[in-house]
């Protein structure tokens, strides 16, 4: 049904991370025929300033792994990690159900 990866991290450089993410998305959009996320959401933890969670949705776990293993993705995440204040934590989730209220 789908796959969501959540990346939890701490950073004092969120604006730089956002700019790097935008650059990566623009470059990835021009690569035909490669697995890409369907959508992404960056959230700020209201109870822990400086902590963020990025939710990245894929069509399947296989698509997520294919995208993750691309050299461009590895290079991007290496640059992104340099902007984090510590190691990230990953959650890999199979979508069981999706619903919309109303």
Which pLDDT band, with edges at 50, 70 and 90, does 53 fall under?
very high
Q: Which residues of 77-95 are buried (b: 16+ CB within 10 A; e: fewer)?
A: eeebeebbeeebeeeeeee
Please state which of the four CATH numbers 3.30.70.100, 3.30.56.10, 3.40.50.970, 1.10.760.10 is assigned to the domain occupying 3-94.
3.30.70.100
The stretch 83-94 carries a mean pLDDT of: 97
pLDDT for residue 33: 81
pLDDT at 1 over 80: no
> In the chain, where are the structural domains located?
3-94
Q: Which residues of 6-20 are buried (b: 16+ CB within 10 A; e: fewer)?
A: bbebbbeeeeebeeb
């Amino acid at each position: 049904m789908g796959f969501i990866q959540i990346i939890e991290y701490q950073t004092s450089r969120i604006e730089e991370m956002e700019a790097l993410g935008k650059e990566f998305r623009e470059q990835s959009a021009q690569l035909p025929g490669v697995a890409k996320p369907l959508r992404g959401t960056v959230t700020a933890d209201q109870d822990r300033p400086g902590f963020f969670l990025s939710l990245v949705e894929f069509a399947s776990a296989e698509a997520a792994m294919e995208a993750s293993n691309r050299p461009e993705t590895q290079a991007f995440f290496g640059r992104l990690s340099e902007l984090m204040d510590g190691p990230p934590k990953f959650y890999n989730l199979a979508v069981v159900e999706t619903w919309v209220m109303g």
